[in-house]
């Protein structure tokens, strides 16, 4: 166990191996794939590999770790594994019913904050400006929701409509990729796949017109409409898939020559 300053309560304490994307997400994927996740990266130096790494780093004291796990991770995972609320499927997407959208939004913001403060290499390309990081830290440390007027969270349901040989919903549930950022000029976003959903968190926030779009977690209504997004139309994911395929073919080539 490492001694250090807890990123959440700022006390000097023994630190746990903390997760940004919840450990239960990794457990779920690893269980379904004999203890190894297929991790794909667009980093040319890193081969696509089977890994049991769960992207943890010494970040939080055990008290803060337990609190975030109970308050946010357990809820977020329960919703997306179908243990909380229910899902209605229709041609344009899915509706999440009887889900606490405020808690869901805070769950994703807590993941994002942990991604930003984590020193794990899978999260090294995401580092929020100190002001936003500190704003989120204070909210999470005092267990108060961040107002909807600050930061926007949107979720989409991934699917692959390729007629033959596409990814099934089950494949997409095991899809794991390092979070990546987008620059829209006036605002930024950080995106990551999550149990066949695609999450995009915007900083500082999007314009009011955009904020009413389907998939954005706003308001208080009982139904959260989640539109479909074609996984192969997400350019960053396409890039990783193509680069993983190239690496795979290269490895095959090496084996063939040997
Ligand atoms: Zn702490």
State pLDDT tens for residues 68-109. Answer: 999 999 999 999 988 999 999 999 999 999 999 889 999 999
- 194 in Cβ contact with 229 (< 8 Å): no
**Angle formed at CA 41 by CA 34 and CA 25, multiple of 5 degrees:** 45
State pLDDT tens for residues 147-195. Answer: 777 889 999 999 999 888 888 898 888 888 889 999 988 889 999 999 9
- Mean predicted confidence (pLDDT) in 129-135: 92
pTM, entire model:
0.88
Q: Measured between alpha carbons, how far is 2 from 211 in angstroms, rounded to an integer?
A: 42
Number of domains the chain contains: 1
Neighbours of ion ligand 1 (CB under 5 A): 6, 8-9, 61, 64
CA of residue 65 to ligand 1 center, whole Å: 7
State pLDDT tens for residues 118-129. Answer: 988 888 888 999
CA of residue 129 to ligand 1 center, whole Å: 21
CA of residue 11 to ligand 1 center, whole Å: 6
In the predicted model, is pLDDT for residue 8 greater than 90?
Answer: yes
Backbone angles phi, psi at 29, to 5 degrees: -70, -40
According to the model, what pLDDT value does residue 93 have?
A: 95
In the predicted model, is pLDDT for residue 256 greater than 50?
Answer: no
According to the model, what pLDDT value does residue 39 have?
A: 61
CA of residue 137 to ligand 1 center, whole Å: 11
CA of residue 15 to ligand 1 center, whole Å: 8
What letter does residue 216 receive in the DSSP assignment? B
As to burial, measured by CB atoms within 10 angstroms (0-12 exposed, 13-18 middle, 19+ buried), residue 102 is middle
Peptide bond into 16 cis (omega under 30): no
The range of the structural domain enclosing residue 174 comes to 2-257
According to the model, what pLDDT value does residue 13 have?
A: 96
Q: Measured between alpha carbons, how far is 4 from 16 in angstroms, rounded to an integer?
A: 10
CA of residue 157 to ligand 1 center, whole Å: 34
CA of residue 1 to ligand 1 center, whole Å: 14
State pLDDT tens for residues 16-58. Answer: 999 998 888 888 887 877 666 656 565 544 544 556 778 889 9
């Amino acid at each position: 166990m490492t001694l250090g300053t807890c990123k959440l309560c700022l006390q000097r304490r023994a630190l746990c191996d903390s997760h940004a994307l919840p450990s239960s997400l990794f457990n779920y994927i690893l269980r379904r794939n004999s203890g190894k996740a297929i991790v794909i990266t667009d980093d040319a130096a890193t081969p696509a590999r089977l890994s049991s790494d769960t992207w943890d780093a010494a970040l939080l004291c055990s008290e803060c770790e337990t609190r975030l796990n109970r308050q946010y991770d357990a809820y977020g995972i329960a919703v997306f594994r179908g243990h909380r609320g229910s899902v209605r499927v229709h041609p344009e997407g899915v509706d999440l019913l009887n889900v606490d959208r405020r808690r869901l939004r805070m769950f994703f913001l807590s993941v994002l904050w942990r991604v930003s403060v984590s020193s794990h290499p899978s999260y090294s390309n995401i580092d929020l400006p100190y002001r936003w990081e500190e704003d989120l830290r204070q909210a999470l440390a005092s267990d108060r929701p961040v107002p909807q007027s600050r930061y926007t969270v949107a979720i989409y349901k991934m699917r692959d409509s390729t007629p033959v040989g596409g990814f099934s919903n089950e494949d997409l549930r095991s899809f794991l990729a390092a979070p990546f950022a987008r620059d829209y000029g006036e605002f930024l976003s950080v995106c990551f796949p999550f149990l066949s959903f695609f999450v995009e968190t915007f900083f500082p926030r999007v314009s009011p017109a955009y904020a009413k779009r389907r998939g954005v977690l706003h308001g208080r209504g009982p139904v959260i409409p989640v539109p479909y997004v074609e996984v192969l139309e997400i350019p960053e994911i396409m890039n990783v898939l193509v680069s993983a395929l190239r690496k795979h073919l290269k490895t095959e080539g090496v084996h063939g020559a040997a």
